[in-house]
Structure 1
Amino acid sequence: MDKAELEKLHADLLIAWNKQDATKMASFFTDNGISIGFDGSQYNGKKEIKAEIEKIFEHHQTADYIWKVKEVRFLNSEIAILRAIVGMRPPGQEEINPAANAIQTITAIKQNNVWRIELFQNTPAQFHGKPEKVEELTKELSAVSEK
């Protein structure tokens, strides 16, 4: 059951991004949660996460996430790590932009029987010097987006 809850937490976070809902995104974090963005930006706490993500949404229409959870690992009954691959589909396009592929990691803790994000990290998956790896990841995500 907890594995499904963690996968839903990740999906809900990305769906909120796709809907450009910064308030909803921030709601999935602990009060002191940390979000590290694709560009290395670090936001600390729900309030800062909400404020900074709102700024992103105000300035442009963001690409939509496509994702696939690769692993959920429990460190104990109240701490877990989720790892996923993600791609982004730019507005008005059908294809995933390989330059925006990333590996996402969530460290989640269970508070009052609800899983919350303590740390979210979105790391570019550029695989320098290994273009076949970028192509492989893009192909895997494209298969997900076609479902």
Structure 2
Amino acid sequence: MDKAKIERLHTDLLTAWNKQDATKMGSLFTDNGISIGFDGSQYNGKNEIETEIGIIFKHHQTADYVWKIKDVRLLHSEVATLSAIVGMIPPGQKDINPAANAIQTITAIRQNDVWKIALFQNTPAQFHGRPEMVERLTKELNEQIKK
């Protein structure tokens, strides 16, 4: 049951991104949650996350996420991690841009029986010198589009 809730937390986060809903994104974090973006940008606290992501949405037509959850681990009754692979489809296109592939990790904490994101990290999956791994990850994500 908790694994499904943690998977829903990640799905809600990326769905909010795809809908450019910074308020929803911020609401998924703990008050002092941290978000580390693909470019290394770090936002601290749900209010800063909402504000800074809102600025991004205001000034950019963002790409949509495609994702596949790879693992959910309950570390304690109140703490869990989730890892997922993600790709992005640029606006007006139908294919994933392999240069934007990433590995996402969430550390979630249960507060008052609600799972919230304490840490979100979005790490580029460039696999330097191993183009076959980029191709494999992109292929796996493309399978998610067809579902």
Q: TM-score, normalised by structure 1?
A: 0.99
Q: Does 1:134 align with 2:137?
A: no
Show the counterpart of 1:115.
115
Q: TM-score, normalised by structure 2?
A: 0.99
3-state DSSP of counterpart to 1:26:
helix
Show the counterpart of 1:102.
102
2:78 counterpart letter in structure 1? E
Quote the offset at 1:127 in angstroms: 0.2
1:34-53 alignment runs, 5 A limit: 34-53=34-53
CA distance in 1, matches of 2:27, 2:111: 13
Count, aligned residues: 147
1:34-54: CA deviation from partner (whole Å, max 9, x where unpaired): 000000000000110011001
1:52-100: CA deviation from partner (whole Å, max 9, x where unpaired): 0011101111000000000001111110000000000011111000000
- Structure 1 gap segments, 5+ residues each: none
CA distance in 2, matches of 1:17, 1:145: 17
Q: Does 1:143 align with 2:139?
A: no
Show the counterpart of 1:87.
87
- Structure 2 gap segments, 5+ residues each: none
Percent identity over the alignment is 76
